[in-house]
Structures are given as C-alpha cells and as structure tokens.
Amino acid sequence: MSAQGDTVRTAPEALGWDAGETPTGLIGIEVIQAAVKRLPNAPGVYRMMNTEGDVLYVGKARSLKKRVTNYAQGRGHTNRIGRMVRETASMEFIVTRTETEALLLEANLIKRLRPRFNVLLRDDKSFPYILLTGDHPAPGIFKHRGARSRKGDYFGPFASAGAVERTINSLQRAFLLRSCTDSVFESRTRPCLLYQIKRCSGPCTGEIGPADYAELVDEAKAFLSGRSSKVKADIARAMQEAAETLDFERAATHRDRLSALSHIQSHQGINPQGVEEADVIAIHQEGGQSCIQVFFFRTGQNWGNRAYFPKADPALGPAEVLGAFLAQFYEDKPCPRLLLLSHEVEEQELLAEALSTRAGRKVQVLVPQRGEKKDLTGHALQNAREALGRRLAETSSQARLMEGFAETFGLDGTPRRIEVYDNSHIMGTNAVGGMIVAGMEGFAKNQYRKFNIRSTDITPGDDYGMMREVMQRRFSRLIKENGLPGGEIDETADEAAVDGEMPAWPDVILIDGGQGQLAAATQILEDLGIADRVTAIGVAKGVDRDAGRERFFMAGRSSFSLPPRDPVLYFVQRLRDEAHRFAIGSHRARRKKEMIKNPLDEISGIGPGRKRALLHHFGTAKAVSRAGIDDLMVVDGISEAIARQIYNHFHENG
C-alpha cells in the first residue's frame, strides 16, 4: 500500500480529486468531451461514474488526455466500452508522477471500489504462513494469517490453511517444537500430552535444555529455508551414530523425525531444482470464463496452488485479464522475485517495474519458452484448464437444475436467485432465522444471512411469529436499499443479468414449512406490496418426515409432491438441508455464546481490564457477586463508585 499512498500524497494535484466540473445534465460522450478540455498530457488515473455516483470503471493512462480522447470519439468501441461510455455521467482524475505510480494506484482503487466494468479479483482472502516466533526464549511454531506484526521468521505463502496445518503437524514430529501459547508455556508444571506422544520436546518444564531446543529451532529454519537435504543428512547421521552406540531409543526418535520430513515433501508434489522463489501463474479461457492458477514456490519447495475465477468481460483476451489480475493480486500481498507466466501480458515491463517498486527489490516477470520453467507453466496451465472444466460442468448442471425448477413450479423464467429460509431454536430459546442463497453457480455463501429473533411479542416456540419477523426485516431492508424489483432504483437487476452476476432481489423464496409457514411469509409480502413480485413456495416434510415425500405449497395451486427420483426434488432437498445446516449452526453459536456469557459483562463500566482484575482477585464471577464493597475496592482499578455499582448489580436492596 505504501507506493499507492505515496502516489496520492506526492501527485501534483494531491490536494483533492480534479472532478472536471462538467456541466450538469450531460451524460455519455458529452461528459467525456467536456472533461478532455481540462486534462494534461501526463500519466494518471481516471474514474468514470454513473448518475448515482457509482464508479463504473477505473483506468490508468500514460497520457490522460490521449486516453480519455479515445473515449470521446465515440467509435470503434466494443459493446462493453460502449455501454460504459453511455452510462458515464461524471469523471474524476488524479495526476501521478510516473506511469508506474498510476498502475499501482489503479490496482488499489479497483480493489477498493470494485467497478462493474473492470476485471475483478473475486476471491481476496489472505494467505496463511508458518511463523517461528522470535520474541520468546523458546520459539513456538504457529499458523499465521494477516499483518506480520509479531517478531519472528515467516515461511510461505501456503495455498490453504489445511496445507499449513498438515505441514505444522509434520514439523512438530520432525523438530519437536512447541505450539502452545506463551501464557500456557509459562503456567505449565508438567509436560503436556504433545510431549507424551512425541510431538513436543517439553521446553516448558525443562525436559530439554535451552541450547538443545535452540538447535531444533535452527534445524526447522534450515528445512523451511530450503536446506532440507542437509537437515535430513544430519539427522540420518545422528541416527546412525545412535545405533552404533546401541542407543536404540534415540535412533528410533531420529528415524521418526526423518519419516516426518519425508511425509512433508511427499505432499508438496513437484519441487523444481532451478526455481528457488517464484509464483507460477497460468490462465485458461473457455465458455466466456477465465481460470487463473497460482502455484507458490518458496525456498525451492512447492507450497501448493489455488485457482481464481476473476470477473471479466468475455470479450477480453488472456493477456488483458491476466495483466489486470496480477496488478490486483499483488496489491496487498508480498511478491516473489520471479513470476513465471503462461501468456505475455500487456505492458509486461511496466508491470515488472511497478511490482519492483512496491516490493523494494527487483521482480522479474517472464514467459518461459523452454526447459524446467516452461514445464512449470505448462503444469499450471493444465491445472487451470481442468479447474475451469470442472467449474463449467458444475455451472451447466446447476443451470439445468434451475431450468427444471422453473418448469416444475410453473415460473415465468429461470430463476437467478433463490432464497431459502429456516428457523432454529430449543423451546423458543436463542431463536435464529437463517437465509441461504443459491444461483446459477451454486450456493452463494457470501450472501447468507442470519436473523437473531428480537421481538418480545413472540411466544417462545412460535415458528409463525419468527418467520414473520424474518420476512419483515429481510424485505423491508431490501426495499430500502434496492427499491422495488423492476422499479427505478432496482436497475441492478438488468445489469446483473448482463454481467452474469446474482441480482439483489430473489426470484423465488423457499420456506421450510407447510401451509402455516407459507401463509405467515406471504402475509408480510402482501403488507409490503411485493407478493406478486416474488414467488413463495412452502416445503413441508412428508409423512413420518421421510425425505422424498415432501409436500409443496404455492398460492393459487393445490399442494403437490414430486416423483421420488425427480432431480428437481433432490435439488430442493439440497437447498432445504443447506438452510437447515446454516440455521442450526447459527443457533448453536448463539447458544454457546449465551452459555459462556459472564454476569460481569452486564455491568456498565466493567470492561475487559476490570473484568480480568476482578476474576484474577476473586477467582469466579460468583465470588465477585458475594463480595462486599470494601472487598471490591481492594482490586486494582476498582474505585468506590465502581465497587458500589458492582455491589448494587448483585443486590437488589444495595
């Protein structure tokens, strides 16, 4: 982020966005033509916005004037660019010192603003690392994600948390490093279970001396730094020496350590000899979609791979999509010294210069033509091709199910968004409503919502009342934020259809329940004036609650069942089961939170620090409740006023 931040602060016009001051009432080419007159022939970044102020597109240019002039000519545009120009109601600009700074700033703004017409990186989760701590006499080994604020050595990135956990488990067996927190380490009086099962050397209780433990830590660092052959050779030599001196127990320990190291490397797949630190990135396009595979190689070892499916216009080629992806991907992630690509990207030298600027060291971007590096990109490309093939097959299958769903339930068209609702509670306590969402690409888990039932007017266990509250809250907010479906505000529905995205409004809602639950939901829809805009379907469990004998309820239609082997029935069962899983999981989480809630949490003015001091002094919240005012005042941070407040909380006649 530092490079982008410097760009904004040091740019000639860094005191604010130069909005162009285009006349009101203009839209499309007229707006762009008005903006061109005031632009310099200098590098920078531009933003195109619609009448609502939403950013449509963020772009960078070597010359702002020349780039924006191309839009103003109004000819030779692709359908995507033509739509973007027509919807533009205003433009904003910032001038940068160099084109490199413009590229870095562009990537930053795209990730932050997510404009509809840019290539967008959908999955933006951070990567996990292995951390060997450096702020404790006995370093520990941990999984780490996020900012590297703790002192120590970081190794990675790994493609997934599972890969990190498997590696740490094997490293514990190989190097016997601790994985307990510092507070647990300090409080141990005897070795824990990990010591008993030979996954820790027990530095907490002195089972191993500081010097010997430090030697194990150094071996682990050497292995993770790529010197695995030397580490294995040293352990093998120590095993042989132990066997020759008839110390078979120590020899067996070294044997188990060697086995653990072999286990790690056997799960890393291909490990190139000539690539020390690199990301291997390949793109494959098919069926209007793109898949980008990223393989991570660090210290000569393969730390896994991950597939990405960026949102991009189908008309864009692999060079454009891959170039946009790379700029965004490394905007907030450390970049290796070498990127090996399957395709040439636009402005490849500029990209390498921008990544080098951000990393503070030279970064090479290459498209290998032969040898081991070419084999690596070929392997990544094969993985990208297979991952996209699986995705297209799943999408095709989902599309057929959605079409069958529409036909079975007599819908006007294929639904693009289905919402499924379910409630979960125990005798009315900790009641939670759950909503899951499915679309043309399967379950959209980032759209799931839970509703903690708040109303005090609902009788505990009143499922109909709970459903009414969930429907009221869900659709009142939806109307407020998006307007009525098909109305003036709800322009996103048509845009989503064109872009292949899921709309905000559901086409269908499935209610887990029979006629009563459906009636409760329908009543709220009618009160909000949207009953004719959303199709509501009730799904009641069959006789003896057997799967396959469900009854379906719809307005204006008699209840009906589907044949036992109907694919649509299986589809509905999957939807209902997912809603049930989500609702009951949310209920359990709320119940668990309720169970561990401390009475001290309810006292105003008692924050984490005072709570900790009270519990440390008295031991339990129950003991705090029995304490007198004088006793409470002994605790650090508890004044007479606070002590009286605590006492009065537990004593009605205080």
Question: Based on the number of CB atoms within 10 Å of its own CB, is 164 exposed (0-12), middle (13-18) or buried (19 or more)?
Answer: buried
Q: What percent of the chain has pLDDT over 70?
A: 86
Whole-number mean pLDDT of the chain? 82
* Residue 257: closest CA among 284, 231, 291: 231
Higher pLDDT, 283 or 299: 283
Per-domain residue ranges of the chain = 2-113, 128-266, 278-389, 411-593, 599-650
Q: Which pLDDT value is given to residue 599?
A: 72
Number of CB atoms found within 10 A of residue 573's CB: 14
In sequence order, the 6+-apart residues with CB closer than 8 A to the CB of 422 are 433, 434, 512, 576, 579, 580, 582, 583
How far is residue 318's CA from residue 61's CA, in Å, rounded to a whole number? 20
Q: Which pLDDT value is given to residue 542?
A: 67
For the chain, the straight-line distance linking the first and the last C-alpha, in angstroms and rounded, comes to 55
Is the CA virtual torsion 643, 647, 648, 649 positive or negative?
Answer: positive
Give the highest mean pLDDT range of 145-149, 564-568, 649-653: 564-568
Range of weakest confidence among 267-281, 353-367, 570-584, 631-645: 267-281
Average of pLDDT values for 1-11?
35
Domain at 599-650, CATH class: mainly alpha
DSSP 11: S
Going by CATH, does the domain composed of 411-593 fall within 3.40.50.300? Answer: no
Secondary-structure percent of the chain, ordered helix, strand, coil, rounded to 5: 45, 20, 35
Higher pLDDT, 489 or 138: 138
How far is residue 336's CA from residue 338's CA, in Å, rounded to a whole number? 5
Name the token pair of 338.
């070498």
Going by CATH, does the domain composed of 2-113 fall within 3.40.1440.10? Answer: yes
Q: Which pLDDT value is given to residue 500?
A: 55
411-593: same fold as 278-389? yes
Q: Which pLDDT value is given to residue 449?
A: 92
- Pairing mode, if any, of strands 442-443 and 429-439? antiparallel
Residue 512 near residue 576, CB atoms below 8 Å: yes
pLDDT-derived band at 437 (thresholds 50, 70, 90) equals very high
pLDDT at 2 over 60: no
pTM: 0.68
The topology (CATH level 3) of 278-389 is Nucleotidyltransferase; domain 5 (3.30.420)
pLDDT at 492 over 60: no
